[in-house]
Amino acid sequence: MTDLPVAKPLLIIDDDEIFRQRLGRAMEKRGYAVTTVGSVADGVAAAHASPPDFAVVDLKLLDGSGLDVVAALRQSRPECRIVMLTGYGNIATAVAAVKAGAIDYLAKPADADEIARALDAGEENHPPPPEDPMSADRVRWEHIQRVFELCDRNVSETARRLKMHRRTLQRILAKRSPQ
């Protein structure tokens, strides 16, 4: 009789159903027993009902912040290894995610290999730096977009908060995102 490897329990929380299903299948192929949910409420419920060893959490969900799920996971299973995913990569949210208990913070679109490396990295071994990190121009653009969204897409208020001229901000917003 052969011993089959035990699948590692993984909870994936993302409101993008197609991405969530695709990532779930890819992680199952890498030896994880995957549970997927699409909201903060379902993520918190799953964290309390059956705390996983690993979790991949989207930062911005339709019904709230993924940081609430991270807090619930930390409460239910303090040793849970959590990777935070976001389409809004900036320093402030990365710091908040790590302070909440995430072990890594990856910008979307992150592939399954990158996520698996981050989840499986040992406590003393940090995951390697990304092969293709965002450029400084892209990071600046993402930050401006985030503040713009937080100001309910009000150009004048965004410009005031970013301490830049309104017309300069309008020109930046009119351009395509840098690579």
Per the structure block, which two tokens stand in for 10?
Answer: 């993984």
The answer to whether 162 touches 169, Cβ cutoff 8 Å, is yes
> Which pTM value belongs to this model?
0.67
Q: In terms of CATH, what superfamily is 136-174?
A: Homeodomain-like (1.10.10.60)
CATH 1.10.10.60 residue window(s) in the chain: 136-174
User: What is the pLDDT at residue 100?
Assistant: 84
Which of 93, 178, 86, 175 minimizes the C-alpha distance to 139?
178
CATH 3.40.50.2300 residue window(s) in the chain: 8-120
Q: In terms of CATH, what superfamily is 8-120?
A: Response regulator (3.40.50.2300)
Listed in sequence order, the DSSP H helices in 30-111 are 40-49, 66-76, 91-100
- Summarised one tens digit per residue, pLDDT across range 123-166 is 555 556 667 777 788 778 878 888 888 898 899 999 999 999 99
